[in-house]
Structure 1
Amino acid sequence: MNFVQPIRDQEMIEEIKEFLREDNERNRMMFIFGINTGLRVQDILKLKKRDVTGDHIIMIEMKTGKKKWIQINPTLKRELKHYIRDMQDSDYLFPSRQGKNVPIKRDMAYKVMKKAAKRFGLKDIGTHTMRKTFGYHMYQKTKDITLVQKLFNHSSPSVTFRYIGMDQDMMDAAMNRFGL
């Protein structure tokens, strides 16, 4: 498994959104959904319209088997309102063109992320980048690593710091201040 990084630069996130808008609205929405919920891609791809019409997404995580409640933030709610307006409740949020009412597969989500990474010269990008980007920016806004740890179901703050790339940022900052 490759180690992927969060997208740290807010301007880069906006540029990726715009690039994906020009490419495909479904792909743009998948990216927006991922960076606003912190869900794993396999959990995102199984969601249907009926799962996102309230104030919360209530689901069982595939990896952990645990029930998860996620509030749909105002940004995501606004984006979803337009995206799902013509969908049926039983429609997958991110439909494939292969077959009737089936979601895209993980490898297609990976191709979307790699295409954006190539366009912007980003390294260490994959589907997990969306989840890590959520965690990185949630920490930057709240400075509450325990909150991010709980959102991700991690065992310790140190695991979460490493996961969202903060330990690398801290080491880089320390090295920039260091000199003999």
Structure 2
Amino acid sequence: MIMIYYNVEPLRSQQEITAFVNYARNGTHGERNALLILIGLNTGLRMSDILNLKVAQVRYQDVVQITEKKTKKRRLILLTRLRPQINHYIEDLPDSEYLFTNRQHHPLSVNAVYKLFQTIARKMNRTDIGTHTLRKTFGYHYYQQTHDIGTLMMIFNHSSEAITKRYIGLSQDVIMRQMAGFSLGIEGASVEKKNSQKTG
């Protein structure tokens, strides 16, 4: 099966991550949007699973068990590092409410998050940001810190390490590094141009 993720790339540097979070925080519903992004960056959950979280799930425990909407498989996520931000955000929210809602207190849709991310992308002069950006960024930096592609493959429920590497942009990194030192005919072309200018 061929997996296509369109032109969506991870945020590869800490500066890009900080800018992304700050643009979200400074807009409308800033606290909500920033926490949504932080949960995505630190868990690697699909956006549909982030938007399915309820307040009660994250209020009382740092280890949260979810059932992924796409795979129907159970997965544990760890929220310890995000506890201060979560507690502040949910302080006045009822347990029964979805964690991320719109003005009508309905759960945010994936499409609404996509539109938010497109607004941020324009501010960052990026054309490669989408709802998979957070998940890919988690995977990219998890691998950079641990070099444990096997565990990451299990977290993402991928069938091979090659799929995981391609998904998080590692394959593209390798290609760009290899291409950076590769050239054909460039030196000859520039010399020829110089010589033609002299004779002209």
TM-score w.r.t. structure 1 length?
0.92
Runs of 4+ in structure 1 off by over 2 angstroms are: 177-180
Partner of 1:9: 13
Determine the structure 2 residue equivalent to 1:157. 161
Q: Distance in 1 between matches of 2:123 and 2:160?
A: 35
Matches within 5 A, 1:16-55: 16-23=20-27, 24-53=30-59, 54-55=61-62
Q: Which residue of 2 aligns with 1:80?
A: 86
Q: Mark the CA change 1:37 to 1:146 in structure 2 (over 3 Å): closer, same or farther.
A: same
Q: Which amino acid aligns with 2:66?
A: M
**Corresponding residue for 1:106?**
110
41-50 or 2-11, larger mean C-alpha shift: 2-11
Given residue 173 of structure 2, which amino acid in structure 1 is its aligned partner? D
TM-superposed deviation, 1:179: 5.0
Matches within 5 A, 1:111-150: 111-150=115-154
Counterpart residue identity of residue 118, structure 1: R
Residues 73 and 147 (structure 1), Cα distance of their counterparts in 2 relative to 1, 3 Å cut: farther
Q: Give RMSD over aligned pairs.
A: 1.4
Which amino acid is the alignment partner of residue 45 of structure 2? L
Cross-structure match for 2:76: 69
* Residue 81 of structure 1: how far off its partner (Å): 1.9
Q: In terms of Rg, which structure is larger?
A: 2
Unaligned runs of 5+ in 2: 185-200
Q: Kindly indicate whether residue 62 of structure 2 is the aligned counterpart of residue 58 of structure 1.
A: no
**Per-residue deviation at 1:178?**
3.7
Higher alpha-carbon deviation: 85-94 or 128-137: 85-94
Contact 1:38 1:135 in 2 (8 A): yes
Q: How far does the alpha carbon of each residue in 1:41-62 deviate from its partner, in whole angstroms, 9 at most, with x for none?
A: 1111111111113121211100
Query: Could you tell me which amino acid in structure 1 is paired with residue 65 of structure 2?
Result: I
**Number of paired residues?**
177
Corresponding residue number in structure 2 for 1:172: 176
Q: 2:95 aligns to what?
A: 89
Cα deviation digits, residues 101-149 of structure 1 (max 9, x gap): 4211111110111111000011211111111111111111111111111
The structure showing larger relative contact order (alpha-carbon pairs under 8 Å, at least 6 residues apart) is 1
For residues 112 and 7 of structure 1, the distance between their equivalents in structure 2, rounded to whole angstroms, comes to: 16
